[in-house]
Amino acid sequence: MKPDSIPTTSRIMRSHPCFSDEAHDRVGRIHLPVATRCNIRCNYCEHQVCSDIRHPGWTAKVLSVTEAADLIESVMRRQQVPDFVVGVAGPGDALANDHTFQLLTLIRRRYPQVTTCLCTNGLLLEDKLAEISSAGVMALTVTVNACDSRVGGLIYSWVRYRGAICRGEQAADLLISRQFAGIEKAVAAGFAVKVNTVLIPGVNDRHIGELARRLGEVGVKVMNIMPLIPSGKMKRCMAPTCDELEKARRNCENILPQFHRCQQCRADVVFLPEKRLASV
């Protein structure tokens, strides 16, 4: 299952702008918003069509596979060197959408030198590893907000898996078990894996050190703690202060290396070195 001709994990960790603080401003990133469906409901989540506000899961429009591939072709014509990575980060879950694999397979066929990645909640990660590998994906970002279903039950409304819907702590328990199984298998298969965690004061803030420890045990090499953007069912919740965010990162840095440069990019972000566009 290990991807063919994949650069070493350490090389990806050093050169991916969402994995490495040093590469963040030096290497470009393009998110292609082709994945509309999602299989879980996070209480902090909103999907919006919006052109000018920075917010994960938001996009100016959803692209078809053809439109997304045409965008990459136009960028490749302008760039002398493909100094960027291409990923699918929404607006739903990348693994819950066939368009994700159609697009990334097409990019791999046309531009095998381009590093591709995807972001996922991890519910389908173990189930889809073979497809991820076949599509040429090299790096994975998995959003994991809890390792205890009592905490997760406050974060997730429901989870849909294999045709069945679970709610509350049962949903969280299912999601957490699938996330950790998938991450462990992905690391063993040679993928570069980063974990995003949304810091939610009063919900998972006291739990985050244990989460970092558990992630380290299954082989995760870098963690990105992001502040809650109050929205959805959590729109009345308070975002963490800068001090609270830095404290969480410092506490976890003793357990797991931290990524500090996250800008909570939109599902349609296009950032190229020396050139930045707000959306596609």
- Does a structural domain hold residue 76? yes
In the sheet with 28-31, reading across from the earlier edge strand, the strands are 222-227, 192-199, 139-143, 115-120, 84-88, 28-31, 270-272, 275-277
Strand blocks (E) in the chain:
28-31, 40-42, 84-88, 115-120, 139-143, 156-161, 164-167, 192-199, 222-227, 270-272, 275-277
pLDDT at 4 over 80: no
Rounded distance, CA 58 to CA 54, Å? 8
Whichever domain contains 269, its CATH number is: 3.20.20.70
Q: Give the pLDDT mean for 207-233.
A: 96
Give the C-alpha distances (Å, rounded to integers) separating 26 from 115, 135, 142, 226, 238: 15, 26, 23, 21, 33
Q: Taking CA 166 as the corner, what is the angle to CA 40 and CA 47, rounded to the nearest 5 degrees?
A: 20
- Does a structural domain hold residue 1? no
**Per-residue pLDDT band at 228 (split at 50, 70, 90):** very high
**Per-residue pLDDT band at 279 (split at 50, 70, 90):** very low
Q: Give the pLDDT mean for 13-38.
A: 85
Question: Which domain does 231 fall in, by range?
Answer: 9-277
- Does a structural domain hold residue 4? no
- Does a structural domain hold residue 262? yes
- Does a structural domain hold residue 54? yes
Q: Give the pLDDT mean for 80-86.
A: 79
Contacting residues for 256 by C-beta, under 8 A, at least 6 apart: 212, 213, 215, 216, 220, 221, 222, 223
Structurally, the chain folds into a number of domains equal to: 1
Identify the CA nearest to 68 among candidates 111, 25, 38, 19: 111
Q: What is the pLDDT of residue 17?
A: 75
pLDDT mean across residues, the chain: 89
